[in-house]
Amino acid sequence: MRILVPVDESSQSCRLIHFLLERDSLLGTDPEIELVNVQYSVPESLIRLFGLNEVKKYYQDTGVNVFEDLQKQTGFRSKLRTATERVMYGDVVKMLAEEAEASKADLIVMGARGLSPVQGLIFGSVSNGLLARTHVPMLVVRDESKLPEKKMRVGILVDGSAYGAAAANYVLEHLELFGEDPEFTVVHCAEPVPDPITPNPVNPMMPVLSREEIDEEQQTRFHEAVQPVLDPFEVAGLSVRAQLLVGEADLELPRFANGNLDLIVMGSHGRGNFTAAVLGSTAMHIAAETKVPMLVIRK
């Protein structure tokens, strides 16, 4: 598995490296890890003033210092012995997206700013831009993110769309990411169903569903949403269960994840240049309110 890990001089990158070092199985079997630091390009006027070679040397030296500082703080080289370190310069999102495609990366691992949907782009402009410009799946790690020493509880969030199936397929194709004997749960959140009401005075002939009929309809929709995801797991002989949550998805999904899951997997349409367009409002709230890592699968 090829894993691309963008890093910079921030404390967030240091926490990200510690996160990766805490669990070998998260990196899969014999991973090819590439740590990349992208230096922002300078105006053409400065290049003409100092010369292209001098500017490139400055970029290279600055990028190397980023890796040296990470080594001092994390000691990552002793454990990630085969990891490569690369310094690039230019537009950060553009360079990372091109590198992800050129290296045929199977996964990008990024840190998240952890802002609320009101405060701004949850993943930051770089993470969000990558989601919009590449189809490579992205593991988004929060500052509070931790993983268990042994069995991992993995939740696949579905809403009945093809994105849930895409997320499930990625999980099945990369089972080594989830460690030994993981627990998989397919999670669907349904809107609360009101109690039966009295006949509509405008249209008294409109039939009124009973409580049992309403519950049966909700179960039918739940089954339709989760079964296409459950089937491939069962065919593969993997243990998987389904979980129905009832309420507002923005609230119920993060609440369930924080108390019951170690990793969230969800699909994304990946359109647009802003988080709301790439992930949707529900996913924005999930990303903002959960403490567990989130694996976003582009479709």
Cβ–Cβ under 8 Å, residues 167 and 267: yes
Looking up tokens 């495609």, which residue turns up?
101
| pLDDT at res. 202 | 58
Rounded to whole angstroms, what are the CA distances from 180 to 22, 154, 184, 214, 261? 15, 12, 12, 40, 16
| pLDDT at res. 65 | 93
pLDDT in tens, the chain (299 residues): 889 999 988 888 888 888 888 765 566 667 889 999 998 766 566 556 666 677 778 788 888 999 999 999 999 998 888 889 999 988 888 999 999 999 999 899 987 654 443 333 445 567 777 877 888 898 888 766 676 666 889 999 988 888 888 888 889 988 888 888 889 999 999 887 666 555 555 555 655 667 677 778 888 888 988 998 899 998 999 989 999 998 888 889 999 999 999 999 988 754 444 444 445 566 767 777 788 888 988 76
Closest CA to 246 of 171, 183, 194: 194
| pLDDT at res. 86 | 92
Tell me the C-alpha distance between 271 and 279, whole Å.
8
Query: Hey, what amino acid is at 175?
Result: L
Q: Which domains does the chain have, with CATH numbers?
A: 2-298 (3.40.50.12370)
CB atoms within 10 A of CB 261: 23
| pLDDT at res. 159 | 84
Looking up tokens 């790439």, which residue turns up?
278
Query: Hey, what amino acid is at 28?
Result: G
pTM equals 0.81
Query: Hey, what amino acid is at 161?
Result: S
Tell me the C-alpha distance between 123 and 296, whole Å.
12
Instruction: Give start and end residues of each alpha helix (H) in the chain.
Output: 11-22, 44-50, 52-74, 92-102, 124-133, 162-173, 211-235, 249-260, 275-279, 281-289
Residue 84 contacts by C-beta under 8 Å, 6 or more apart in sequence? 33, 34, 35
| pLDDT at res. 275 | 43
Element (H, E) at 107: strand 107-111
221-251 burial: b if 16+ Cβ within 10 Å, else e: ebeebbeebbeebeeeeeebebebbeeebbe
| pLDDT at res. 48 | 63
| pLDDT at res. 113 | 56
Tell me the C-alpha distance between 16 and 18, whole Å.
5
Looking up tokens 């009945």, which residue turns up?
160
Q: Which two tokens stand for residue 146?
A: 């931790």
